[in-house]
Structure 1
Amino acid sequence: MREAMFIKKNAAKWKEYQHSETDNPDETAERFITLIDDLSYAKTFYPKSKVTRWINGIAAGIYQSIYKNKKEKYTRIFTFWKFELPLLFKRYHRILLFTFLLEVFIVCIGWWGSATNDEFMRNALPPGYVDMTEENIAKGDPFGVYKDDNMFTTFVRIAMNNTFVALLMVIGGVALGIWTLISVWQNDIMLGAFQYMFFKNNLGWQSILVIWIHGTLEILSFIIAATAGLIITQSILFPGTYSRMLSFKRGIKDAMKIMIVLVPLFILASFLETYVTHLMSQSFDKEKNFGLPIWAGVLILAASLSFLVWYFVILPIRLHKKGYYLQSDGIIGRLKQQNA
């Protein structure tokens, strides 16, 4: 973008920030973050220009109402997990909501298609899966697919496969989100058909207890992976005041930070699927009288869901309301508390 166009596009905003003060801490933070972004762009493309000094002066003025971070005893890793990652998600909550609603909609399509056409369900699921499950149901062991003699090998295989699929979803954002959306479609159509298959055989609530013990972490982690992919897509299609390449680099960086949180989530989900889901499935095996208690399964499912909602939705909002903000360089700042 030429300097004249950059100034014309943003001059009115800068003048307002310079001459019109605000007592609202959220608006002050928003102004400061916006100016930092504009300043970064100006320093990159017009380092010796007067407009760069102008923006810097406005930002410095606003900075007087914001205090610098005190040196914390927390390590960088602790700060990343407690502040940086949740605040990063706050920045992309709209994309997260869009992805969640899209995936719910596609799951409903998979359910509806399976309910209206048996061939749809068979085509959506892996070859022979429906027949195998129906045989297990007839034998009184409906969730026999989750039983495996070599549990550790299964645990490693599931964790690696899920992480790889999630990584492809993230990288798919480079292709304008096409591959990301294709992966979302395939996985969610399969999920809808898979869940309907058990409800069709009057095993719906049992399947929720068995499948969603690990599925809560696993499926919602895939939603987060798809969100990361669409963040990259947004950085390409809507660069804002940045050059497209600079915006793309920022999108990649943010998406890879999000990918970091998926690794432990997939490891935990794989552990639950291999060891805990196996025990839960035995509770519905007519030939056996032992397994994981129902209340324990409900507790694990509820704890998993509560953690995900708290960490990715509630905590980012709470940090934002307390005045924390994430600068473009990853530094955490906090507004001074206003006296009532």
Structure 2
Amino acid sequence: MTESQFISQNREKWRELELLLSRTNRDPDRLHELFISVSGDLSYAQTFYPNRSVRQYLNNLTQQVFDSINTRKTQFQFRELLVFFARRLPAEVHRSRNAFWISLLVFFVSVIIGVVSSAQNDNFSRVILGDNYVNMTEANINNGDPMAVYKDEAKVDMFLGITINNIRVAFFAFILGLLGGVGTIILLMTNGIMLGAFQYMFYTKGLFLTSFLTIWIHGTIEISAIIIAGAAGLILGNGLLFPKTFKRLQSLQQASQQALVVLLGTIPLFIMAGALEAFVTRYTEMPDFIKVLIIGGSLLIILFMWMYLPARMAKKAWIPEVIVAQPNALDEALGSVKYRSLSENFVLTVAQFRNTLGSYSQVALPSLLLFMAILWYHLKTFDGYSYDLLPDSLPFFRFEYGGVSIFVFAWGTITAALIKLGTYGTSESNIWGKHTLRTHARSILLLCIILSAFYFAGFWIGIAVLALASIQFVAKMVVEQQRLSTISTGLVREIYRFCIQHYLKFIPMIICLILIYAVVNLLMTSGLSSYFISFISWHDIFNDRILDQLFIEHVLNFTVLQFLLPIIYFMSINTYQSIQCRVEAIDLRKRFKDFGNSATILE
């Protein structure tokens, strides 16, 4: 059967299904009947017309039916919240009890380190807590109110600020588990050492009991929640490093589900701790026995929720087995070409990023080490450093500070990364072949122009040049040059014309990429790097703390750029192909209306 005959035979049925999908009130029996029939047509088209628009059209049509059938109504129920805290959370705590003990041990040992170090070095508390905080505390002690720091702010503002900050710390403890648990351990050690130094400072002033009965009003719950969040990060790191009999991705998926449940369980604790610190701790004159009751009650809540309930569930065998989700469905999507929504393209992008991460790291990690060496040399020899300058005033990704060497390095690194990504889905693995420069000459030149605009002319000029070139055009050029080895000028014009003509259709993708960058940048600027900076500063890598901060922030920014690049690349390609399929499907639908007017249509 020719394609024209196939369309002529089934087009009325397809039109009926389109009309039925456009209605609010649908006949479910007829919808089911048409869905089965059109699914059969799709299978036939995939077999006999795999590269034709009719296959793309039918794939899009059946996807719409599937989405309409499987739309689920979500509604929050208070009973689910009770089940979560009474059943699911204790079950996950018991399964991951080793991570909790390790987190507690790391924190407790860190507190001892803070105490012992403070006892050995009188200035240790100033190194850890900062001169400003120590001076303020000493001034409060001299004024006869050592706990005055808890009375400075308005109650509501203090409550919101403390709660948000504590939740942020917990989230960092969780997300740093992706570094194999090392980042989580550093965060736990940082907080533990600070606590030990803080308590010893008051001990030397003869105010240990006063400080203990004050800060542990809220600290009992707050410190417990930080330890629990640290356990969530260790669960994540354990799943990444020790997959056992599972694939590494399966192990990470299972661990992330368990860790996320544990992390969500800390949110009420941080709210309680914030409320106590803002509304109760400030009343330092209250009788000691009331403080003891509050501390004891807080401790009982922690022991009941995080020790008694998990042990009780385990004793009564109420803990269900873990069901491991199979991620193979994502792998099947990698080889198919069809119209996808923005969310589907994002899921596919994550799957592609996962599959190429190992080979991409062969380029990313060596370039990161080289960048660290170059940056270390710049900071050691830089003459323009001043205490009056903030870290943001010294971006080495700009010409006036980085010079030509940083530009050449960045250009070479991004070029190598893009060429490596261009080998995805092919048998080619060596990006340093003799034809590489000639094959990707246009892409390398275009990348040089875009990067030069950012580096030499400034951020907004770079954005303007990137918008004019369009990121989807750059990504598509890399793909086509890798696929065809040589690419004609006519094909370049055709790709660019398509990107410009349908530029507005790429806007949702661009917004999605901007949001991803904004979230990552928020994590970076809101204190994620501060834990590493503080930890490194204690070891005096550079003579000045601000140099440590510059080094860590530039390394983190470069790392983020490297690992956002594959997401930008794959998202651009998937969106380009999706829009191309959609345009062809719309064109085919238009041909349906004129079918029969010309004998040459779709032949």
Query: What TM-score comes out, normalization by structure 1 length?
Result: 0.71
User: CA shift at 1:194, angstroms?
Assistant: 0.4
Does the aligned pair in 1 maintain the 2:180–2:237 contact within 8 Å? Answer: yes
From 101, 104, 109, the counterpart of 2:108: 104
Match of 1:333 in 2: none
Rounded to whole Å, the distance in 2 between the matches of 1:295 and 1:326 is 42
- One-letter identity of the residue aligned with 1:146: Y
User: CA shift at 1:156, angstroms?
Assistant: 0.5
From 232, 236, 253, the counterpart of 2:236: 232
**Matching of residue 260 in structure 1 with residue 287 in structure 2:** no
Post-superposition CA distance 1:227-257 (Å, at most 9, x none): 0000001101111221110110111111111
**Matching of residue 324 in structure 1 with residue 321 in structure 2:** no
**Matching of residue 135 in structure 1 with residue 139 in structure 2:** yes
Does the aligned pair in 2 maintain the 1:88–1:326 contact within 8 Å? Answer: no
User: CA shift at 1:206, angstroms?
Assistant: 1.1
Post-superposition CA distance 1:107-146 (Å, at most 9, x none): 0000111111111111010331111111111111010111
User: CA shift at 1:329, angstroms?
Assistant: 3.9
- One-letter identity of the residue aligned with 2:173: M
- One-letter identity of the residue aligned with 2:100: L
Match of 1:178 in 2: 182
**Matching of residue 298 in structure 1 with residue 302 in structure 2:** no
**Matching of residue 198 in structure 1 with residue 202 in structure 2:** yes
- One-letter identity of the residue aligned with 1:213: I
Rounded to whole Å, the distance in 1 between the matches of 2:320 and 2:246 is 18
SS at match of 2:131: coil
- One-letter identity of the residue aligned with 2:105: L
Does the aligned pair in 2 maintain the 1:170–1:229 contact within 8 Å? Answer: yes
Rounded to whole Å, the distance in 2 between the matches of 1:147 and 1:240 is 51
Match of 1:312 in 2: 306
Does the aligned pair in 2 maintain the 1:159–1:266 contact within 8 Å? Answer: yes
Does the aligned pair in 2 maintain the 1:84–1:326 contact within 8 Å? Answer: no
Does the aligned pair in 1 maintain the 2:104–2:227 contact within 8 Å? Answer: yes
SS at match of 1:240: coil
Post-superposition CA distance 1:168-227 (Å, at most 9, x none): 110000011121111112111111000111111111111111000000000110000110
User: CA shift at 1:75, angstroms?
Assistant: 2.7
Rounded to whole Å, the distance in 2 between the matches of 1:161 and 1:181 is 19
Structure 2 counterparts to residues 145-184 of structure 1, below 5 A: 145-184=149-188
Greater gyration radius: 2
Rounded to whole Å, the distance in 2 between the matches of 1:126 and 1:308 is 31
- Give the unaligned 5+ runs of structure 2: 1-77, 325-603
- One-letter identity of the residue aligned with 1:217: I
**Matching of residue 207 in structure 1 with residue 190 in structure 2:** no
Q: How many residues align?
A: 248
- One-letter identity of the residue aligned with 1:297: K
Which of structures 1 and 2 has the larger relative contact order (alpha carbons within 8 angstroms, sep 6+)? Answer: 1
Does the aligned pair in 1 maintain the 2:103–2:188 contact within 8 Å? Answer: no
- One-letter identity of the residue aligned with 2:249: M
Runs in 1 of length 4+ with deviation above 3 angstroms? Answer: none
User: CA 1:233–1:149 in 2, change beyond 3 Å: closer, same or farther?
Assistant: closer
- One-letter identity of the residue aligned with 1:139: N
